[in-house]
Amino acid sequence: MKLNILKTALLSILFLTISFVGFASNEKGKNDQETEFNPQEMILHHVKDAHSFHLWEWHEKSVSIPLPIILWTNNGLTTFMSSKFHHDDSGKVIVEANGGKFVKLHEKIYQLNTDAIVIAFDKEHHPTNAVKPLDISVTRNVFMMWVSVIVLLLIFIISARSYRKSENNIPKGIASFIEPLVIFVRDDIGIPMIGAKKYKKYMPYLLTIFFFIWINNIFGLIPILNGANLSGNIAFTMTLAVFTFIITTLSGNKNYWKHIFWMPGVPVPMKIFLAPIELIGMFVKPISLMIRLFANITAGHIIVLALMSLIFVFKSVAVAPVSIAFSLFIAVIEIIVTAIQAYIFTVLSALYFGMATEEEHH
């Protein structure tokens, strides 16, 4: 198991190194004079969402997989492939579609005014002659979310069929790997946190978020996907946290609301003082869920990218062994964190459900 983790981490570092060499070479080729390597630009390039799968750059040639751009403008629905921008992210390439002119600036799509032939900026580098249309494009994070849903469906459909074919309900194949995880979520998360009487109705949600977060964390470590890290997107973690908040709020019983608005067993002045604190705590819990998952996943990627950047910042091959060694160490930790963060999110969600459904003790 340890050897497999080490092999995966080494492969990740190898692909990252190839990608970084290409990125640095491309930066040098942009102008006749050598440009300084910008680690911040490189890190943001790999971490943020994008309209295509940018694989690598080598000698001013970019290799990428385009994704469909879907916009809602004044002229209605507008669609075209991201390849029409020719890998430009500076707003210089203008794409004409459905009677409109569009540019891409820092992975955001802008529609130029009718009389504009080039995008203009103010002193703070904000576009002055362009507006942002409603962007419902299939970005790489959206695409990988669909892929993860399909993978999960296949895994559980195949597992369910293996149980049907089994005479003694003995799991075979992939089901033998999934069953211990399902039992783990049930026996070590659902029952202890919610209770043996009420845990069953929450199990579908707990299992969904556990496997959904875990598999997307794993996809985020695959180098060829080049930053398609769904769990590192604040919108994704916010959506999961909102679902947990809604289920917790709707599950709250009389005892739960009493502890929030009129804490039993304490003097009246303290009840008045504690009520707003508990009310704020209702919203702080999902916010902490959102930030914890987002920050832990994103931080690991940023650290690896920053360590790899040291090779190009110092412009010395002598730094490479140290940089790669530390990057490998962080990559191994990231592989472990993929499961830990899925576990923590599921445990805390189950804990909140348990608090909301706990009966009053006499």
Same domain, 91 and 154: no
Does residue 40 fall inside a structural domain?
no
Same domain, 76 and 170: no
Does residue 100 fall inside a structural domain?
yes
Which range of residues forms the domain containing residue 248?
141-357
Does residue 21 fall inside a structural domain?
no
pLDDT band at 200 (very low <50, low <70, confident <90, very high): very high
Q: What is the mean pLDDT of residues 325-345?
A: 87
Same domain, 200 and 182: yes
Does residue 248 fall inside a structural domain?
yes
Same domain, 184 and 131: no
- Whole-number pLDDT of residue 346: 95
Six-digit token string for 324: 């790669």
Boundary-marking domain end, from 137, 172, 187: 137
pLDDT in tens, 2-45: 455 555 555 555 555 544 444 444 444 444 444 566 777 777 76
pLDDT band at 353 (very low <50, low <70, confident <90, very high): very high
- Whole-number pLDDT of residue 12: 55
Does residue 3 fall inside a structural domain?
no
- The residue that leads in pLDDT, 250 or 30, is 250
Does residue 14 fall inside a structural domain?
no
Does residue 114 fall inside a structural domain?
yes
Same domain, 95 and 229: no
Question: Rounded to two decimals, what is the model's pTM?
Answer: 0.82
pLDDT in tens, 317-334: 788 788 888 888 888 888
pLDDT in tens, 283-309: 999 999 999 998 888 888 788 888 878
